[in-house]
């Protein structure tokens, strides 16, 4: 099942090792303000967990280098969806025409 994302919040972890193997986390909520996913980011050399879904919340793990790309999508695209399939999380947008300018 795909969830439409309506809001997000960001948490950045300090220290050389981050927090629980993560450097940062983005929490995604649906249109009913229910948490649907945590996208967690890891620096090179940090342990990478596998993506999974538990109790209706998707945990997606990406390299820290992807953080800016994910924030850009969340800031500039609508609608945004997240879903879990084939053992991994997927974040995406609806189909848009080529050359469409953001308003």
Q: Mind listing the pLDDT tens digit for each residue in 73-98?
A: 999 999 999 999 999 999 999 887 77
Domain membership flag for residue 29: yes
Domain membership flag for residue 88: yes
> CA 15, 19, 20: angle at the middle one, nearest 5?
145
Residue 69: both structure tokens together? 């790309």
| Rounded distance between C-alpha atoms, residue 11 and residue 29, angstroms | 14
- Whether the bond into 79 is cis, omega within 30 of 0: yes
Which residue segment(s) compose the domain that 55 sits in?
3-93
Sign of CA dihedral 77, 93, 38, 56: positive
pTM of the predicted model as reported, rounded to 2 decimal places:
0.89
Number of domains in the chain: 1
Domain membership flag for residue 17: yes
Domain membership flag for residue 98: no
| Rounded distance between C-alpha atoms, residue 25 and residue 46, angstroms | 14
Give the pLDDT of residue 100.
67
Domain membership flag for residue 68: yes
């Amino acid at each position: 099942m795909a969830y439409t994302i309506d809001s997000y919040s960001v948490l950045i972890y300090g220290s050389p090792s981050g927090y629980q193997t993560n450097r940062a986390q983005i929490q995604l909520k649906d249109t009913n303000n229910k948490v649907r996913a945590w996208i967690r980011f890891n620096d090179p050399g940090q342990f990478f967990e596998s993506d999974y879904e538990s109790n209706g919340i998707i945990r997606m793990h990406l390299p820290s280098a992807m953080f800016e790309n994910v924030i850009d999508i969340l800031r500039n695209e609508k609608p945004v969806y997240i879903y879990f399939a084939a053992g991994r999380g997927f974040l995406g947008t609806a189909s848009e025409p080529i050359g469409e300018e953001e308003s």
